Structures are given as structure tokens and as C-alpha cells.
Structure 1
Amino acid sequence: MSLAIDGNILPHAAILAPMSGVTDWPFRRAVRRCGGGLVVTEMIASAAVLRDVKSEMRKLRTEAIAEAPLSIQLAGWEPPVMAEAAKICADLGASFIDINMGCPAKKVTGKLSGSALMRDPHLAGAIMAAVVDAVDVPVTLKMRLGWDDDSLNAPQLAKMAENAGIKMLAIHGRTRCQMYNGAADWAKIADVVAAVDIPVVANGDITCLDTMQKAIEQSGAAGVMIGRGAQGRPWLLAQAGDFLAGQAVRPTPSIGMRHHLMRAHLDDMLSHYGTAAMRLARKHIAWYAHGLPGAAELRDIANNNTDAAMVFAAVDEFFEALDPSDVAA
């Protein structure tokens, strides 16, 4: 299985999902270092891009061409602002522009952005058209099944998106009101697949190759978008891509290689964030160590220290104490 967006054949049919506070430049680089394909930035507020707000522009601190293929995801509720922000991102070298219509967070939906747009098809359509008209690169869209169980309008919005020139859709198999509770309903994504001729990828609860296979079988999707399943396991995207391509799946990294990958990720965080890096790295350290002996002690050190040398020493000691056979899932 391969995946093409508007004629652009992707390295893999497995895409890294945008995750706020997670899919920053160091994390995307970790995924690509492991052999991953298309990666998506954290959700970026379009209005902040135009104002050059430092916290948002840091999310764009990247050599986009070197990261290619790279998708930059934008959130907003004003068509002209979304269009202008898309132009800026395309000029930065983005391979794709992604419109966020799936974020369930109240601070986003309260501004009529994210999944709130699924309740206003007219505004959603205006944003799609404005962004597509503004850039020469392909535009994609990520959304949920609907706002709630009484408004599962993803198929209708998908058709509208296709007519507006959107080139690919990613569907999270939950409604906005579900947030991240319950289980993703991959079978309902099949209704979106049936409604359009553009590629649809399935998202939600894809944490391993088995769940990925079930998501594909139940949805009929052209590929998958993996988010939380890749936390602490940046190699999962490459493994998923291998599986979908019918190739031999590369092995899960050894303890020694996992140590190397984690250190490289932390080095990139230090370079990217400076003194704030070790505080921001705490969640990543916990994810990398999850399921391995001594993980609790490492988390305790990371959670109570911001000195990079001390944290790095603890990471080295943690891995050096492990038996090579200690490979977490």
C-alpha cells in the first residue's frame, strides 16, 4: 500500500499526527531519524503566524526543505487570516498545508476553531476555499466524525472539502464530545471513504501494527495517521510504513539503539529550547523509559531536575543498567 497526495507519492502510508506540545522539531526529527515519512507540525494558530508571535513561530523553526515532506497544520476561524498564514507557511517550504478541524480542546473550539468548525459548514467551506486558493502546495484537512453522536457529518464535510480542492483527509474516529474517551470507531471512517475519491487516512487509537491493521480493515482507508502511539516510540511510523508497503518490518530498536535515539532527541531539544529543554523533555523521557526496569527512578530524577548534565547522566546510567533483552513493547 502506497499513499499519494495530489500526485505526490509519500515515503510511507503512515503519517505522524499533529500533537500539541509533542510534534515539535526535535520530535519530528526523531521520527525521521528512525525512517518515518510525512510528519505534521503541532497545530499553529494562524493569527499568531501573522503577528509573528514568538511561541508559535518557534513551532516553525525548521529547515522545511530538509524536513520534506513536511505538513504545517494551521488552526483558525477567519478565512483571510488562514489564507495569509498558509502563504507564509508555503513560503517557508511546507510540502503541504493542513487545516485543523479536529482539535477538541475548549480553548480552541471556544474561538470557533478546530472541531467547532464542523458545526458551521458554511464557515468551514469558506476556510477551505480560501486556503486552497492561496497556495500552490496541496492542502489537506484533519477532522473528527462530527461534533457529537447526533451530528456525524464528516462524510458531508468531506465531500465539501473535495469539491473545494482539498487533496487528502485524515479522520479521527471519535466525535468532539468524546474528546479522547472511549474507543475510536474506525468503521465509521468507512462512510467518509465511500463519500469521496481523494485519499482518506484513519486516525485514533492506532498504537501498534495490530491495531493499525484493524483500522485499515474496518475503515478501508488509504493509510493511517499515528499520534499517541508514537510517543516514546518514534520508530513506530517506519515500522507501520514497512507493514503497509508489504515489506519486511524493521525490528524494534535494541536497548543500545534506543539509548542512542533518546540521547539524540534530548540533544535536539537542548539545541531547540535552551534552558527550558529539560522541563519540556520530562514527558519524552517517561515515554521512552515506559515498561523498562528502573523507569520510575529515572522519571523521578527527570521530574525534579532541570540541569541537562544531571539528567543526561541519569539517562546514561538507566540504559547502562539494562539487560540487552529488556525491550519494552
Structure 2
Amino acid sequence: MRIGSYQLRNRVLLAPMAGITDKPFRRLCAHYGAGLTFSEMMSANPQVWHTEKSKLRLAHSDDLGINAVQIAGSDPLEMAQAAAVNVEYGAEIIDINMGCPAKKVNRKLAGSALLQYPELVENILREVVNAVNVPVTLKIRTGWDKSNRNCIQIGKIAEQSGIQALTIHGRTRECLFEGEAEYDNIRAVKHAISIPVIANGDIDSAEKAKAVLDYTGADAIMIGRAALGNPWLFQAVDNFVEYDSIIQTPSLREKCGQILRHIQELHQFYGEQKGYRIARKHVAWYLQGIQPNSVFRQTFNTISDSKEQLIVLEEFLNSILDREKC
């Protein structure tokens, strides 16, 4: 699959997720086969462009592949300026967020709230596309609510505005993350426009990924929440989608080693004052796939020292490996 001038490694992408898709997590997902990873959502508000938090979100390195940055906002000129600033900082693809259902985002008329105003959508897309010399992509939902599914209309506006690829989450804003994602509307959009379409929503296995690609005709799929605590999912999906081959998941030993390295990277990336807090949620997600009924999480969450956190985590993981040998 291509986005503008960029050839992606494969058709399995990591979704941008606020508070999650930082540099350490993107690196891990890229290592296990994510063909493209996106930064966390960046606000178009000029007051936050040069903050420490924004700089962390923009952190990138060669082993992450293409530097794709997502921006969010509602003012066309601010969005254009934000895109240009991010390109100056090294963004190679700009993704526009019109899919986030969070109230704090929608209150500012950003994210999926914009789907109610197609003329404003068009203004934003044209301003951003004209402001940068890199590919611009768009992420949306199927509509604002079940009575107002206008993704075909938005898809046509996107294509006419110069958007290079469109990601569609198979829910409306009203649905939030409840119920099941549907793919009929993604399929309809794919039939209505010629730019690449990326299917998103509830893709949590290799079999589901292939079924969604086959049904919708989408050019790629995007995985979000299913990657939490399960970054090796990309490897399994890529092999099944591209080669119809089922591969074994990494060994428990490999998983434990990667978990430890990930937590170490979080400590280094965020610093000791913040890293141990970020690590807590990732360890909780990893435990769901390794030892879901463990009481270790409560113990781990009481630790407020990075070094102690690593020592305790390594001891716990070693105890799991020792039990596996028995």
C-alpha cells in the first residue's frame, strides 16, 4: 500500500491513541510488524506546540519507519499552521483526527464533532493539504450518530480535497466504543472513492483482520485497543493477511524479555518522575495476556520508584517462567 510517495511495509497499521502511542510503544509495534505507526494526537492550539509534552509526542527515530503525526482542531488556519510546524519538526505524513469521540475534544468542535459540519471539514482539509508538501490523511467515524452516517459524503470531500488515504472506524461518535463495529459503511465508502481506505474498529485477531479486508475491500487495516499488552499481534496479522500463514506467537520468554525492555524504555523516555506511572497501565495490559487473574498488579501499582519497579517486575516474570518449566 502507498500513501502519497511512501510505500508502506505492509497493510497492518497501528492506530494513534492518546496516552499510548508514544515512541517506546510505537517502536515495539514496529518491531513486531506494524507497517505504519502514528504519534499521539497533537492539538492545533499554538500555545501547546512547544511544550515538553508536545516534544515527547513528536519524538521519533529511524527504527519507527515513516514519521506520521496526527493533529486535531477545528480552526482551518490553525490546523494548517499546526501541520506546517509538525512538518518542520520532521513529520512525513500528517493525519487529521475527525474520529475521536472524547467529550473534551468534541466540546472544542474537534475530533468526530466535525462530521456534523461537512463545509468546515472541507475547509480544514483544503487548508492543511495546501499548507504542507507531505501526504495528508484523514481518520473519521461513520458519522455523528446512527441517523447521520455521512461517511460517504465525507470520503468524497476528502478525495476532492487532496487527502491521500482515509481511515474509517466502524462506529458513529454516538457509539463511543460500545457495541460492535460494523463494516458495511466502510465497504460502501471504498466503493465510492478511489483513494486508499483503511478499515478500523474491533480488529483483534489475524482471522478478523483478513475477514474485514476481504469484506470491505479496504486497502489496509488499523489496529488500536487490541494491541495493548499484545504488540506481537501485528506479526500474526501480517503473516495471515499476506501469506495465509498462521505463525506461533512469541515464546513466553521472549514476551517477558520484551515487557521488561518496554518498561525500561518508558522510564528512560519519560524520566523517573513520570515513567513509573506510565508503566503501570502497560503492565496491567500485559498481565491480561500472561496471567489475567494475578494479584501482582495491586502490588506493582503501589511502587513509586523506577528501579524498584523493574526489580519487582523482573522477579515476577522470572517466577512465571520458572513455573512454566515445571
- Tell whether the structures are fold-level matches, with TM greater than 0.5: yes
Per the alignment, residue 224 of structure 1 pairs with 221
CA contact (8 A) 2:46 2:78 kept: no
Per the alignment, residue 13 of structure 1 pairs with 11
CA contact (8 A) 2:48 2:54 kept: no
Residue number among 89, 93, 114 corresponding to 2:86 in the alignment: 89
Secondary structure at 1:322 match in 2: helix
Per the alignment, residue 179 of structure 1 pairs with 176
Residue number among 13, 31, 34 corresponding to 1:33 in the alignment: 31
Instruction: Write the distance in 2 (CA, Å) between the matches of 1:142 and 1:49.
Output: 24
Is 1:69 matched up with 2:72?
no
Larger mean Cα displacement after TM superposition, 85-94 or 105-114: 85-94
Secondary structure at 1:124 match in 2: helix
Per the alignment, residue 199 of structure 1 pairs with 196
CA contact (8 A) 1:71 1:94 kept: yes
- Per-residue deviation, 1:7: 4.1
Per the alignment, residue 311 of structure 1 pairs with 309
Write the letter of the residue equivalent to 1:186. Y
Per the alignment, residue 260 of structure 1 pairs with 257
Secondary structure at 1:72 match in 2: strand
Instruction: Write the distance in 2 (CA, Å) between the matches of 1:90 and 1:259.
Output: 37
Larger mean Cα displacement after TM superposition, 147-156 or 211-220: 211-220
- C-alpha offsets along residues 143-196 of structure 1, whole Å, 9 cap, x if unaligned? 000000111100110011001000101000000000000100012211111110
Instruction: Write the distance in 1 (CA, Å) between the matches of 2:293 and 2:310.
Output: 14
Whose RCO is larger (CA < 8 A, sep 6+)?
Answer: 1
Instruction: Write the distance in 2 (CA, Å) between the matches of 1:185 and 1:5.
Output: 25
Is 1:124 matched up with 2:121?
yes
Per the alignment, residue 136 of structure 1 pairs with 133
- C-alpha offsets along residues 233-290 of structure 1, whole Å, 9 cap, x if unaligned? 1121232222222264543111111111111111111111112111111110011121
Per the alignment, residue 154 of structure 1 pairs with 151
Instruction: Write the distance in 1 (CA, Å) between the matches of 2:197 and 2:58.
Output: 26
Is 1:321 matched up with 2:319?
yes
Structure 1 gaps, min length 5: none
Instruction: Write the distance in 2 (CA, Å) between the matches of 1:211 and 1:296.
Output: 28
Instruction: Write the distance in 1 (CA, Å) between the matches of 2:121 and 2:78.
Output: 13
- Per-residue deviation, 1:48: 4.4
Instruction: Write the distance in 2 (CA, Å) between the matches of 1:85 and 1:132.
Output: 12
CA contact (8 A) 2:143 2:150 kept: yes
Per the alignment, residue 112 of structure 1 pairs with 109
Write the letter of the residue equivalent to 1:17. A
Per the alignment, residue 299 of structure 2 pairs with 301
CA contact (8 A) 2:164 2:196 kept: yes
- Per-residue deviation, 1:297: 2.6
Instruction: Write the distance in 1 (CA, Å) between the matches of 2:39 and 2:88.
Output: 16
Name the count of aligned residue pairs: 323
Larger mean Cα displacement after TM superposition, 208-217 or 189-198: 208-217
Per the alignment, residue 24 of structure 1 pairs with 22
CA contact (8 A) 1:18 1:42 kept: yes
Larger mean Cα displacement after TM superposition, 85-94 or 130-139: 85-94
Q: Quick one: percent identity of the two aligned structures?
A: 38
| TM-score, length basis structure 1 | 0.93
Residue number among 267, 271, 275 corresponding to 2:268 in the alignment: 271
**What is the RMSD computed on CA atoms of the aligned residues?**
1.8
- Per-residue deviation, 1:309: 2.1
CA contact (8 A) 1:171 1:189 kept: yes
| TM-score, length basis structure 2 | 0.94
Secondary structure at 1:178 match in 2: coil
Instruction: Write the distance in 2 (CA, Å) between the matches of 1:39 and 1:250.
Output: 22
Instruction: Write the distance in 2 (CA, Å) between the matches of 1:95 and 1:325.
Output: 46
Write the letter of the residue equivalent to 1:40. F
- Per-residue deviation, 1:217: 2.6
